A and B are shown apart, each in its own frame.
Chain A
Amino acid sequence: MTLQDLIDKILRRQPASATTARERLQLVLAHDRSDLSPETLDQMRREIFEVVAKYVDIDLEEGDVSLETEDRVTALVANLPIRRSMATSSQD
């Protein structure tokens, strides 16, 4: 976070348009490069959650599966916070 971001946040101002442009571009390019539509990604996200939920108790509200790009390589990044493992919960 930069000083500017902090001030923008406090004043609830819009960030500079270059920042918005960069973020929008990174998102749209991740989709372009992977050839995944937002709908397909959403479907995949739901299925990944289902599979993982079989093994661990995950926080669906906080969880996220998204595309990230660096140096023209796009990766699927899943962030799935675990509430507690199923093993522990069954001992309760």
Chain B
Amino acid sequence: MTNSRTILICSGKGGVGKTTLTANLGIALAGQGARTVVLDADFGLRNLDLLLGLENRIVFTAQEVLAETCRLDQALVKHKQEPNLALLPAGNPRMLEWLKPEDMQTIVGMLSERFDYVLIDCPAGIEDGFKNAVAAAKEAIVITTPEVSAVRDADRVIGLLNTNGVSPVQLVLNRVRPKMMANQEMLAVDDVTDILALPLLGLVLEDEQVIVSTNRGEPLTLNGHASPAAKAYGNIARRLQGEDIPLMDPAKSGRRGIRARVRQLMQTKIF
């Protein structure tokens, strides 16, 4: 499969939404007809199985595939409701002791023969786990939140992606709170894209439904959920597929009351 795309989903900082994005994007791409596999490259702290609700159906993992004690199709866990999506689970944390960048390349090479999209859920940090995952990726999505620590860590990761020749690298801004942005109490979308100098692939609003969906192990994109985050994930998948879908403006989706208008007036440059 020469048209297969291998996309690394990474952030540097932990807890900003890598795994949630991987799960939702996987379901959304599969729902749009693309043969998709999600690969959990976070061998130390795996969670992708849990977010997809597949934790009880794992028999073999990437570990057995590499050791050639099982075939690839035995390790792949197909999603029940979304048969276009498969998960290749992370192996035992002890794999970290011997796993090499070439091993990740081997796995991804096998997957890209069968799937249109290989999404790699990258571990947090910039150590060995990250380096292994980067070695196998062709393009990347960096996800961050509008917070100083997350943006700083994203910047480090972007630097490493650039030196490793990963391209294109696109940005997803997660947990956006329009009201706080309108009140200048949260970094604006332009602030983050200017600082990181990356094209914006999507904006995801802070959404309680994300927590509800992880409780159930049913990603928001699974049942055509109407919540803001579900729509955002769906749009990200469409943009990845090349569709031209305009980005929403959080300043407009936020409260347009008198206070927000005054705030905007206050931001007018006077000299």
Interface residues of A (CB under 8 A from B): 1-4, 6-7, 16-19, 21-22, 24-26, 28-29, 32-33, 69, 71-72
Contacts and interface: CB of A to CB of B under 8 A. Distances in A.
Interface of B: 147-148, 151-152, 155-156, 158-159, 181, 183-188, 191, 195-197, 263, 265-271
Contacts of A25: 148, 151-152, 187, 195
A74 to B, nearest CB: 11
Given A3-B268, A7-B266, A72-B197, A29 B183 contact: no
15 contacts: A2-B267, A2-B270, A4-B184, A4-B263, A4-B266, A6-B270, A7-B266, A16-B184, A17-B186, A21-B187, A22-B191, A25-B187, A25-B195, A28-B148, A33-B155
Nearest to B147: A21
Contacts of B265: 3
Contacts of B181: 18
Contacts of A69: 195
A32 B155 contact: yes
A26 B195 contact: yes
B267 to A, nearest CB: 5
Contact of A19 (B184, B196, B270): B184
B266 A29 contact: no
Nearest to A18: B184
A32 B59 CA distance: 43
A27 B213 CA distance: 38
Nearest to B266: A4
Contacts of A7: 266
Nearest to A3: B266
A7 B262 CA distance: 13
A7 to B, nearest CB: 7
Contacts of A3: 265-268, 270
Contacts of B152: 25, 28-29, 32
